[in-house]
A = this chain, B = another copy of it.
Amino acid sequence: MRADAQKNYDRLLTVARDVVSEQGADASLRDVARRADVGLGTLYRHFPTREALIEALLRADVDELTAKAADLEVSSTPEDALLTWLRGCVALNHEYRGVSALFTAALEDTGSALHDSCVALHDIGARLLDRAHATGVARPTVDGTDLFALVAALAWLYDQPSLAPRADHLFDVIATAILPTHQHTGFPE
């Protein structure tokens, strides 16, 4: 990549982080280009779709959680490890408003820039779940893809202004569906 192109790419990502933080996943792309002092076509050249832009915004964070989760497998009890993974995933799906649908789609869409990262995160989650299955603390009917779906649904709940105050409680309710013996995740009630 040419030096000027690289500079534009970086600036677009930096500005997009702000704009998507403010406006959510349906932020104005024109606004991103404008604030980055870049032509509209330059934005489209680097990020052919809105999804490509937001996926680029999220990718590093997904990989970070995957790495952290690999540690959890050896350092925590099956139950604690799974709960920490779940909380991290919810936080990821809630990093910007309205991105949980994108995460949900990326897991299956091989064309997504987030696909490989999501599969890796899914796989480590499934491993943590299997460990919990083996020790009998996790409900057997729940599988790794269910986890991803429930996490996305929870992030959606956090996105709803009227539900945000109850969201931590609802996390506990759903966590209990996955880990029936579990009582409380440590979130304030």
Contacts and interface: CB of A to CB of B under 8 A. Distances in A.
Interface of A: 101, 104-105, 107-109, 139, 141-142, 145-146, 149-150, 152-154, 156-157, 160-163, 166, 169-170, 172-174, 176-178, 180
A79 to B, nearest CB: 16
Contacts of A141: 169, 172-173
A94 to B, nearest CB: 13
Contacts of A176: 139, 177
Contact of A162 (B107, B157, B169, B174): B107
Copies in the complex: 2
22 contacts: A104-B160, A104-B163, A105-B161, A108-B162, A109-B162, A139-B173, A139-B176, A141-B169, A142-B173, A145-B166, A146-B173, A149-B157, A150-B170, A152-B163, A153-B154, A153-B157, A153-B170, A173-B177, A174-B174, A174-B177, A176-B177, A180-B180
Given A104-B163, A146-B166, A153-B153, 17 more contacts: A101-B160, A104-B162, A105-B160, A105-B161, A105-B162, A107-B162, A141-B172, A145-B166, A146-B170, A149-B163, A149-B170, A150-B173, A152-B157, A152-B160, A153-B170, A176-B177, A177-B177
A176 B174 CA distance: 10
A88 B84 CA distance: 34
A169 B156 contact: no
Contacts of A109: 162
Nearest to A167: B149
A-B CB proximity, top 8 nearest: A177-B177, A153-B153, A108-B162, A104-B160, A156-B156, A149-B163, A153-B157, A173-B177
